[in-house]
Amino acid sequence: MAAVDEVVHRGRYAPSPTGRLHLGNARTALLAWLYTRQQGGRFVLRIEDNDFTRSRPEFEQRVYRDLRWMGLDWDEGPDVGGPYGPYRQSERVELYARESARLDTFACVCTRRELRASARRSPGGEVIYPGTCRQRPVEPGRPAALRWRAPPGVVQVDDLVHGPAAAVDDIARDVGDFILRRRDGVWAYQLAVVVDDAAMRITDVVRGDDLRFCTPRQVHLLRALGHPAPRYAHVPLIFGPDGQKLSKRHGAPDLSALREGGATPERTIAVLARSLGLLPDAVPAIPARALLARLPPVFRAPLVDRPLALAALR
């Protein structure tokens, strides 16, 4: 008899419903889905609407429609349920409170100006918290952020795309005591994402390269909470000719615009796959599912990152 808790590959795609999915989101979703399906794993769709000040139900509905249009499917998610739900972060706040209560935290009432005055910056230019409120008594009722008294240590993260030591932080020197809950009550991405990945038994995280820099602090949090860290693959973002993330400004349509404008998912999938070197230029259109049979395992060989052939979408 198979063990009940047999570890299977569990991948996920976790968009924030704060805008329309653009082609960069679509390419990341496609890679995450391909990788999970190739491994015979379970694919989880999680809606990261933890920031209730920016999330909108309308965008969540577009996520479902756009991903299904691409030919992607998922085994667990807000719309299909599953054993590790709820799959919307807005419905998981009690879990965030419970998990953060297991950590050594303190209330922080520093103003933005106070923080900006801090001389210490991370290699990425972020303010490193100077520790002002570590010993400062905070009167009850005063709005305060919640910070983690992060223990010192060096955290190194390997990556399926970038190789060993893809991200390294000396937590005390490069990160400091970071925020778990904002002053307005929004749980920080850093906490919500690790609590959810652990609770949903995610084994493999495929996401955009812009999140690579915060992976060491997430692994630090996971360890403090006693959870195993998943494998990570940080995949290239799509940039416009000006070096900024590809957007409408570059004349790039978002997924909803393509879908509603009569583009075909097969051409869209082919353009995305060709830009990663996964498909020869001679293939103008292919359903997502047909890619599965055709491709060698993704991340086994280095990813290619070529400009999108936007003209082929029209």
Active-site position among 136, 248, 289, 294: 248
Give the footprint of Zn ion on residues 210-249 (CB under 5 A).
none
Binding track, positions 52-91, relative to Zn ion; x by CB under 5 A? ----------------------------------------
In whole angstroms, give the CA distance from residue 190 to residue 179: 8
When asked if residue 180 is in the footprint of Zn ion (CB under 5 A), the reply is no
| Shortest reach from residue 111's CB to Zn ion, in Å | 9
Give the footprint of Zn ion on residues 113-132 (CB under 5 A).
132
In whole angstroms, give the CA distance from residue 174 to residue 110: 19
Question: Distances in Å between the alpha carbon of 80 and those of 25, 45, 86?
Answer: 21, 9, 10
| Shortest reach from residue 253's CB to Zn ion, in Å | 44
Q: Which is nearer to Zn ion, 146 or 298 (CB)?
A: 146
Q: Which is nearer to Zn ion, 133 or 246 (CB)?
A: 133
Collect all residues with Cβ–Cβ distance below 8 Å to 36 and sequence separation of at least 6: 9, 10, 11, 42, 43, 204
The amino acid at 140 = P
**How far does Cα 282 stand from its chain's mean position?**
32
Q: Which stretch binds Zn ion (CB under 5 A): 92-100, 109-117, 178-186, 266-274?
A: 109-117
CB 195 within 8 Å of CB 91: no
CB 36 within 8 Å of CB 284: no
Q: Which is nearer to Zn ion, 91 or 184 (CB)?
A: 184
Collect all residues with Cβ–Cβ distance below 8 Å to 219 and sequence separation of at least 6: 155, 157, 229
Considering only 26, 67, 108, 175, the residue that binds Zn ion (CB under 5 A) is: 108
The verdict on whether 245 is a catalytic residue reads: no
When asked if residue 110 is in the footprint of Zn ion (CB under 5 A), the reply is yes
Peptide bond into 86 cis (omega under 30): yes
When asked if residue 133 is in the footprint of Zn ion (CB under 5 A), the reply is yes
Q: Which is nearer to Zn ion, 26 or 133 (CB)?
A: 133
* Binding site residues, Zn ion, CB under 5 A: 108, 110, 132-133
- Which residues are designated catalytic? 248
